[in-house]
Amino acid sequence: MKSVSLQPSTPQLNVKGLSLWHLLNIPNILTLCRLFSIPIILALISKKHYTYALYLFCAAALTDALDGTVARWFDCRTEIGALLDPFADKLLLLSAFVALTFQNRIPGWLLGVVVIRDIVIVFGYFMLSFYTNERVPVRPSYIGKASTCFQLFCIIGALAGARTVWTWQWYAVLYCTVAVTALSGMHYAYRGLSWLSSHEPEMFE
């Protein structure tokens, strides 16, 4: 007669070998908090509560540094976290840029450069993956990190009303952000073309 185990089992939701608790670790929870803060930040900006929006935006930006640090220290990096983290970063930045542009706190030409650069990067990534049928490695460059920092400074400065206090310093930050953002876009394009030159697309084989 077969023996029946009476030990209670821990309920888990397995998706391709990954448990729910493996996916919802601390870094991923921080990333989700950053995502959920975006509509609140946009609502505060639309109501012109810039001080509260500034505090919440800074807290959301802080989670960006925390989730990566925690994931490296405790070796709890997941594939879904690697996808969610840059998505949350881009959505946070672009949403804030669009909202502040409509509020005339950020010039439209800066928003245009940021959007075009991101569109080129995303479109280029999918085109390379489509033609080569391979997953293109995505590693942030130092120029890309610098452009993200400048964009964060722009949003924080716009929420803090820097254009009315530090006029020439504010425009210096704007012009530096445009230059670094455009340079990072060209650098990513160069890296993509270099990677493509060493991988012959399947359609040409």
pLDDT tens figures, 83-128? 777 788 889 999 999 999 999 999 999 999 999 998 888 887 777 7
Torsion-angle region of 119 (φ positive above 0: left; ψ -120 to 50: alpha; else: beta)? alpha
pLDDT score for 199:
65
**183 exposed, middle or buried (CB, 10 Å; 0-12, 13-18, 19+)?**
middle
Averaged pLDDT of the chain? 78
* Distance of alpha carbon 81 from alpha carbon 79, whole angstroms: 5
Indicate the pLDDT class of residue 138, thresholds 50, 70 and 90: low
In the predicted model, is pLDDT for residue 179 greater than 90? yes
Token pair listed for 90? 């881009």
Instruction: Give the tokens for residue 203.
Output: 């359609």
For the cut 50, the answer to whether the pLDDT of residue 10 exceeds it is no
